[in-house]
Amino acid sequence: MALRNLRYEGDEILRKKSREISVVDDKIRTLLNDLVETMYAYEGVGLAAPQVGILKRAVVIDVEDGNVYKMVNPKIIEKSGEQDGQEGCLSVKEKKGIVRRPMNVTVEYTDENGKQVTLKAQELLARAICHEIDHLDGILFVDRVKK
């Protein structure tokens, strides 16, 4: 595994749309593991591939619920409720803001072994999933901060 260099707000790559991953191979597994290592090194709860300059639909999340989620091509298929909460981002230094997100989401993704997973998430995990998927579409949390 290796640490990857973070990209910061103002870098054009953070505003681009990431591409679907067609096959989960060793290269993608290495990317996922590097994302996890980089997330922990910077004490984040999630990290998306474009934040290390890779425009592929891969994200990792650890909100301390006992799991490290490695998601390829994650897609929210259901959402309900609302929550307002503070967010920050490793790519947006020294800024925090209140963002409204769904309280519950159901996400479909491919895991590191190429298996299809359907996950129901609430609260902080639901928020993290929404935040990381936004990165894959070139959206930063600051775009969604309530005025």
Of residues 2-31, those binding Co ion (CB under 5 A): none
Please say which residue, 31 or 89, places its beta carbon nearer to Co ion: 89
Size of the site for Co ion (CB under 5 A): 1
Stretch that binds Co ion, among 52-60, 63-71, 72-80, 87-95 (CB under 5 A): 87-95
Q: Does 89 bind Co ion (CB under 5 A)?
A: yes
Q: Write down the least CB distance from residue 9 to Co ion, Å.
A: 10
Q: Write down the least CB distance from residue 73 to Co ion, Å.
A: 18
Q: Write down the least CB distance from residue 79 to Co ion, Å.
A: 19
Secondary structure string (H, E, C) spanning the chain: CCCCCCCCCCCHHHHCCCECCCCCCHHHHHHHHHHHHHHHHCCCCEEEHHHHCCCECEEEECCCCCCCEEEEEEEEEEEECCEEEEEEECCEEEEEEEEEECCEEEEEEECCCCCEEEEEEEHHHHHHHHHHHHHHCCCCHHHCECC
- Shortest Cβ contact with Co ion: which residue? 89
132 flagged as catalytic: yes
Please say which residue, 47 or 72, places its beta carbon nearer to Co ion: 47
Q: Does 36 bind Co ion (CB under 5 A)?
A: no
Residues of this chain that bind Co ion (CB under 5 A): 89
Catalytic sites, residue numbers = 132
